[in-house]
């Protein structure tokens, strides 16, 4: 009998080479546009749970012009829609029974269409400063270990059009989130070598926390595992006391500590992808990453 983890990984593999909209029964999809609020709305009916075989419904929406309102839309499509998992901020892994965390991340291509790499960093979890100080080693920090020890990465291609589309970005107009293609999935667990590098980065963060100093990447210069803002509010670096209270959290040695999150740097995830594909990082015209042909399902 297949283990739950294998069932999850096999279900993830079925996504590869497909656009988001093709992951669901076409005959049961309803479209709509909320012209007043500016959202495109989707309703998916009679989806089949890949484990229980029970039917479920799912809905999602994204803003057609403001990309900052759509930060979690791809995760919603995949986590809630395709995998039928509840959206939450639990300390437990997304697939708790299999002790497997799910991370959905985007890939972009350079202007010459020769190199693909990660569009952005991958956030792992909010930093609990008390735990960061309490646990000397990253793999002894229980909440962090649950989120980092075993991850299912789902990588989509952030496809753009230079002339028209939705949500204009620095890369161009996106073609519609429902039309993005899943081009790779893989399971990740830190090797001994990578675990040591993560520990080095973790130790540097811990040293700053013990001194009551902000976790600034300009100081940390993390190799693969760093810290990034874990909120969407105004934090005043020059005068933290004037910050939005929602941007602050508890810290044993700081009165106004910014909410931060552990992250994998974009280039680090690109390297993880290369390892999972059994290839090496390439360079072309100043860009570093992978060739489109490295992805069997590009």
Per residue in 104-115, pLDDT (tens digit) is 999 999 989 999
> Which of 142 and 65 is assigned the larger pLDDT?
142
Percent of the chain having pLDDT more than 90? Answer: 78
Confidence label for 29 from pLDDT (cuts 50, 70 and 90): low
**Among 41-55, 159-173, 231-245, 247-261, the least confident range:** 159-173
Q: Judge whether residue 1 has pLDDT over 70.
A: no
**What pLDDT is recorded for position 90?**
78
Contact call for residues 104 and 79 (beta carbons, < 8 A): yes
Mean pLDDT score, 2-6: 90
Rounded Cα–Cα distance for residues 147 and 108 (Å): 25
The pTM score is: 0.93
> Which of 7 and 31 is assigned the larger pLDDT?
7
**Among 55-59, 126-130, 209-213, 265-269, the least confident range:** 55-59
135 is a domain residue: no
221 is a domain residue: no
Percent of the chain having pLDDT more than 70? Answer: 98
Task: Please state, rounded to an integer, the average pLDDT across all residues of the chain.
Answer: 93
Q: Judge whether residue 142 has pLDDT over 70.
A: yes
281 is a domain residue: yes
251 is a domain residue: no
258 is a domain residue: no
Q: Judge whether residue 28 has pLDDT over 70.
A: no
39 is a domain residue: yes
**Among 135-144, 152-161, 168-177, 268-277, the least confident range:** 168-177
Q: Judge whether residue 228 has pLDDT over 70.
A: yes
Structurally, the chain folds into a number of domains equal to 1
**What pLDDT is recorded for position 68?**
85
Mean pLDDT score, 152-172: 88
**What pLDDT is recorded for position 51?**
93
12 is a domain residue: yes
> Which of 153 and 43 is assigned the larger pLDDT?
153
> Which of 195 and 89 is assigned the larger pLDDT?
195
231 is a domain residue: no
Domain span including residue 61: 4-121+151-188+265-294
Q: Judge whether residue 36 has pLDDT over 90.
A: no
């Amino acid at each position: 009998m297949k283990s739950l983890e294998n069932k999850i990984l096999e279900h993830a593999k079925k996504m590869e080479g497909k656009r988001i909209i093709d992951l669901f029964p076409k005959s049961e999809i309803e479209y709509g546009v909320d012209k007043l609020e500016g959202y495109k709305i989707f309703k998916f009916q009679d989806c089949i749970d890949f484990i229980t075989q029970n039917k479920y419904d799912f809905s999602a929406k994204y803003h057609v012009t403001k990309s900052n309102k759509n930060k979690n839309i791809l995760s919603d499509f995949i986590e809630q829609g395709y995998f039928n998992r509840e959206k939450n901020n639990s300390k437990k892994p997304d697939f708790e029974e299999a002790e497997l965390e799910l991370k959905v991340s985007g890939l972009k291509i350079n202007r010459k269409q020769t190199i693909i790499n990660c569009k952005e960093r991958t956030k792992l979890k909010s930093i609990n400063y008390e735990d960061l100080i309490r646990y000397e080693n990253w793999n002894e920090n229980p909440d962090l270990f649950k989120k980092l020890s075993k991850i299912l990465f789902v990588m989509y291609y952030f496809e753009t059009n230079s002339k028209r589309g939705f949500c204009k970005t620095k890369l161009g107009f996106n073609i519609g989130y429902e039309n993005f293609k899943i081009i790779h999935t893989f399971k990740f667990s830190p090797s001994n070598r990578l675990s040591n590098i993560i520990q080095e980065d973790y130790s540097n963060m811990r040293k700053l926390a013990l001194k009551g100093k902000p976790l600034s990447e300009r100081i940390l210069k993390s190799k693969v595992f760093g810290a990034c803002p874990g909120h969407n509010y105004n934090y005043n670096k020059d005068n933290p006391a004037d910050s939005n209270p929602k941007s602050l959290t508890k810290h044993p040695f700081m009165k106004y500590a910014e909410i931060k999150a552990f992250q994998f740097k974009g280039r680090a995830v690109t390297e993880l992808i290369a390892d999972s594909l059994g290839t090496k990082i390439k360079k072309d015209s100043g860009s570093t990453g992978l060739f489109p042909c490295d992805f069997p399902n590009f």
